[in-house]
Amino acid sequence: MNFIIPFLVLITIIVFIHEYGHYYFAKKYGVGITDFSIGFGKEIFGWNDRSGTRWKICWLPLGGYVKFFGDRNVFSETEQQEVINRYSDIDKKKLFILKPLYQRSLIVLAGPMANFILAIIIFFLINIFVGKDMTPAIINEVQENSPAFVSGLKNNDKIISIDNKKVESILEVSTFINASTSSEIEFLVIRDDRQVSIIVKPKLIDGEDSLGNSVKKKIVGIKLSPPSNNEIQKQPLSFSKAIYYSFKEVWFVTSTSLKFIGKMLTGSGDTSQLGGPIKIAKITGQVAQYGVVPFLSIMAYISISLGFINLLPIPMLDGGHLMFYLFEKVLGRPLRQKTQEGFFRIGLFLLFSLMFFVTFNDLKDLGLF
């Protein structure tokens, strides 16, 4: 229960925000909405609002959906006309398929964007009220014969960037090292009042994260510590800086995820680190034990991941719909039925394969394989 309850709270909020993004723009452009569901399957409870939308909570809490009035796939202008002829003039105004292409695109795009906005708001509040660590990353030990030792890193080197990412906190060093998708990492350090660039080839080892979970870690062989009293220096930020660092964090997570996808497609990515609902639930429960701020942080990171995944150009995801709209814009008409059905089969295969793979990883992480 320590894992399940925090996970249900987290996933409910993230899914609600995502679906509300779709809902808000659909209402803005006059699209009729019949259902707003958190979860799939049989309804647990729900209610109807004044406009006739059924708001409901369902048994399988691994997603959600907003169902539009007259919602269905329209493959061709002929079929579209057949659908349109079934409705009265009043109902036609509520049909999603009759809205301009830019409005349909914004409605679809609004879900993932809402997830990014949620993450920005969470990071902003943490930066304003809790603060951000600004402890300089100064090396106080280089392990003998380690990758860092061989490459020439030295004690008292101040790390200012890793792979062209500015290091502003001692806590960012490990993050940037393990987020690197390259076999070699460039460290830019200040030594004797001058900048020195050093290339380090890290070792990949089996280790544990701060929560005790098994992970693959990149090790370079350096130790860092705060310059005084061995304490991290968290500083509440001004409004403008809090906004800046919130956007910066969202961009870092998104760009790192994009690079990871690219490495997987080329066969060089570490797919053992991919996790599904079981792993997310486990980590959420572990983080929740440390308090509200860590819980909000993990919520922000998972919200970014949900927004990013939904933008991938895979049919059945929001990105897949946007891909179809792009084809419609270029061709001047929707794709034909057989073409869209082919895309949907590919998308379904990819999603089921991914679900199987991450579930296998989850069960392996629990020691069941």
| Catalytic residue list | 19
Helix ranges (DSSP H) in the chain: 4-28, 77-84, 89-92, 101-129, 147-151, 172-179, 239-265, 277-288, 292-310, 318-331, 337-365
Nearest to 239 by CA among 104, 165, 360, 129: 129
Q: Which residues contact residue 123 at a Cβ distance below 8 angstroms, ignoring those fewer than 6 apart?
A: 242, 245, 246, 249, 250, 300
Q: What b/e readout covers 11-32, taking b as 16+ CB neighbours within 10 angstroms?
A: beebbbbbbbbbbebbeeeebb
Phi-psi region of 342 (alpha: psi -120 to 50; beta: other; left: phi over 0): alpha
Q: What φ, ψ does residue 57 adopt, rounded to 5°?
A: -115, 130
Q: Let me know: does 86 contact 274? Beta carbons within 8 Å.
A: no
